[in-house]
């Protein structure tokens, strides 16, 4: 089989010919039809994230090993099954849950494999979806897609969609809450659709781009604030009877956005940090106990969340927007375009 691999960080991807894996026991071999191109693939390719003071946090320090086939948003059809697999048959259309854990840590024990101590996530810690086939360690990580669901728009559900859904869940929204959604790109937009569908909260969308804010409004935002043109803090205070936001979900998560978020939190507010922009935060520590804020880091979602999400997608409540399609040998180009901000919706590789 062919796979587009990161052989060395920051060097062009290489399309290599690899042995097609044979599934054993409960493993399943998936013939990949669609593999989403995610921003964290760019980080895995570059080999680092930005930490405090611009210091790079290396992916190899987090246990990533190269050469690696990236790609964790994988949809395709069942091609071959291990002898212990139940409930799946050849040619069934499935979405793969990539946030696989080692199975024994406290997080895995309660079904939060996405937060495992020793993660084995596909496309990050083991070979993923920029390939013709992927070996999934167990059939329990497969979720069946409806016959009328196409794999291109379904693939991004397993990371982009799941991250948005996980963040909305972590915000613990109640019907009368005001929630500010910071950053209305792909993830922010899905969070707006999901918050609208599954909570009764009043949604305030915040971005620097008027066009994106208009789209946010069409997709369920009750109010919009352009934080480039107006005072974001004043804007939120006016929309919330001077109380502040009950929850903020920040899909940018840069020093500047989070510093602003901190200024419009209501007492007891939840600040959910999702974006991977990075940076640092200066915090008035006294405000933490006196105002009882909760700062929550949100990373993807559980397998159970993905089952729910696929069910919501079946009913067209959420639909990722696919804007660019690539062949396998264009994988490097896809990453470069994403890095340069040239992909508006989601890019998908069709191997
Ligand atoms: Zn991702
Ligand atoms: Zn674990």
203 and 221 Cβ atoms separated by less than 8 Å: yes
pLDDT digits (tens), the chain, 351 positions? 999 999 999 999 999 999 999 999 999 999 999 999 999 999 999 999 877 777 888 999 999 999 999 999 999 999 999 999 999 999 999 999 999 999 999 999 999 999 999 999 999 999 999 999 999 999 999 999 988 999 999 999 999 999 999 999 999 999 999 999 999 988 999 999 999 999 999 999 999 999 999 999 999 999 999 999 999 999 999 999 999 999 999 999 999 999 999 999 999 999 999 988 888 899 999 999 999 999 999 999 999 999 999 999 999 998 888 999 999 999 999 999 999 988 878 999 999
115 and 121 Cβ atoms separated by less than 8 Å: no
- 303-314 and 160-170 are packed helices; what angle lies between their axes, rounded to 10 degrees? 110
Q: Quick one: pLDDT at residue 51?
A: 74
In the reported structure, the alpha carbon of residue 81 is separated from the centroid of ligand 1 by a whole-number distance in angstroms of 26
In the reported structure, the alpha carbon of residue 222 is separated from the centroid of ligand 1 by a whole-number distance in angstroms of 28
In the reported structure, the alpha carbon of residue 204 is separated from the centroid of ligand 1 by a whole-number distance in angstroms of 25
214 and 186 Cβ atoms separated by less than 8 Å: no
In the reported structure, the alpha carbon of residue 275 is separated from the centroid of ligand 2 by a whole-number distance in angstroms of 23
H-helix segments, 31-149:
39-46, 106-109
Q: Quick one: pLDDT at residue 319?
A: 81
Q: Which ligand is nearest to the CA of 44?
A: 1
In the reported structure, the alpha carbon of residue 119 is separated from the centroid of ligand 2 by a whole-number distance in angstroms of 6
Q: Which ligand is nearest to the CA of 299?
A: 1
Global pTM value:
0.95
In the reported structure, the alpha carbon of residue 193 is separated from the centroid of ligand 1 by a whole-number distance in angstroms of 19
Q: Which ligand is nearest to the CA of 186?
A: 1
In the reported structure, the alpha carbon of residue 126 is separated from the centroid of ligand 1 by a whole-number distance in angstroms of 14
Q: Which ligand is nearest to the CA of 275?
A: 1
Distance between start and end Cα atoms, the chain: 10
Q: Which ligand is nearest to the CA of 71?
A: 1
In the reported structure, the alpha carbon of residue 66 is separated from the centroid of ligand 2 by a whole-number distance in angstroms of 22
Q: Quick one: pLDDT at residue 55?
A: 83
In the reported structure, the alpha carbon of residue 123 is separated from the centroid of ligand 1 by a whole-number distance in angstroms of 9
Q: Is 19 exposed, middle or buried (0-12, 13-18, 19+ CB in 10 A)?
A: exposed
CA separation, residue 320 to residues 161, 253, 284 (Å) = 7, 21, 38
- Give the integer Cα–Cα distance in Å for 235 and 239: 6
In the reported structure, the alpha carbon of residue 306 is separated from the centroid of ligand 1 by a whole-number distance in angstroms of 14
- Give the integer Cα–Cα distance in Å for 155 and 234: 39
Q: Is 184 exposed, middle or buried (0-12, 13-18, 19+ CB in 10 A)?
A: buried
Q: Which ligand is nearest to the CA of 43?
A: 1
Q: What angle do CA 275, 312, 202 make, to 5 degrees?
A: 60
CB atoms within 10 A of CB 201: 22
Q: Which ligand is nearest to the CA of 100?
A: 2
Q: Quick one: pLDDT at residue 54?
A: 76
Sign of CA dihedral 78, 27, 305, 342: negative
In the reported structure, the alpha carbon of residue 101 is separated from the centroid of ligand 2 by a whole-number distance in angstroms of 5
Q: What angle do CA 306, 308, 309 make, to 5 degrees?
A: 60
Both tokens of 44, joined, read 């895995």
Candidates 319, 277, 263; CA nearest to 183 is: 277
In the reported structure, the alpha carbon of residue 300 is separated from the centroid of ligand 2 by a whole-number distance in angstroms of 15
In the reported structure, the alpha carbon of residue 157 is separated from the centroid of ligand 1 by a whole-number distance in angstroms of 10
- Give the integer Cα–Cα distance in Å for 95 and 107: 22
In the reported structure, the alpha carbon of residue 97 is separated from the centroid of ligand 2 by a whole-number distance in angstroms of 15
Q: What is the Rg, in whole angstroms, of the alpha carbon atoms belonging to the chain?
A: 20
In the reported structure, the alpha carbon of residue 319 is separated from the centroid of ligand 2 by a whole-number distance in angstroms of 30
In the reported structure, the alpha carbon of residue 187 is separated from the centroid of ligand 1 by a whole-number distance in angstroms of 10
Both tokens of 16, joined, read 């290599």
Q: Which ligand is nearest to the CA of 114?
A: 2
Contacts with 118 (C-beta within 8 Å, 6 or more apart), sequence order: 63, 101, 102, 105
């Amino acid at each position: 089989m062919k796979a587009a691999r990161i052989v060395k960080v920051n060097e062009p991807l290489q399309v290599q010919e690899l042995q097609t894996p044979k599934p054993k026991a409960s493993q399943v071999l998936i013939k990949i039809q669609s593999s989403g191109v995610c921003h964290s693939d760019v980080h895995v390719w570059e080999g680092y994230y930005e930490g405090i003071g611009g210091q790079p946090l290396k992916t190899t320090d987090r246990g990533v090993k190269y050469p690696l086939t990236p790609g964790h948003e994988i949809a395709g059809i069942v091609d071959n099954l291990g002898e212990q697999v139940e409930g799946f048959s050849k040619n069934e259309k499935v979405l793969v849950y990539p946030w696989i854990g080692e199975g024994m840590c406290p997080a895995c024990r309660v079904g939060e494999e996405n937060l495992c101590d020793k993660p084995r996530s596909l496309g990050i810690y083991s070979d993923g979806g920029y390939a013709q086939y992927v070996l999934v360690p167990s059939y329990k990580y497969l979720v069946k897609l409806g016959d009328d669901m196409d794999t291109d728009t379904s693939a991004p559900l397993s990371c982009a969609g799941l991250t948005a859904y996980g963040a909305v869940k972590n915000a613990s929204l109640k019907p009368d809450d005001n929630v500010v959604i910071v950053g209305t790109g792909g993830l922010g937009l899905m969070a707006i659709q999901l918050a609208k569908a599954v909570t009764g909260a009043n949604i305030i969308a915040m971005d620097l781009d008027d066009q994106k804010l208009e789209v946010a409004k069409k997709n369920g935002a009750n109010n919009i604030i352009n934080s480039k043109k107006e005072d974001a803090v004043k804007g939120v205070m006016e929309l919330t009877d001077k109380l502040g936001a009950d929850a903020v979900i920040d899909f940018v998560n840069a020093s500047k956005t989070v510093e602003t978020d901190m200024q419009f939190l209501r007492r007891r507010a939840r600040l959910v940090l999702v974006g991977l922009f990075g940076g640092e935060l200066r915090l008035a520590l006294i405000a933490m106990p006196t105002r009882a804020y909760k700062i929550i880091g949100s990373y993807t979602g559980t397998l159970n969340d993905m089952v729910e999400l696929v069910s919501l997608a079946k009913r067209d409540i959420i639909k990722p927007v696919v804007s660019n399609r690539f062949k396998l040998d264009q994988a490097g180009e896809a990453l470069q375009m994403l890095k340069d901000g040239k992909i508006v919706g989601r890019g998908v590789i069709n191997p």
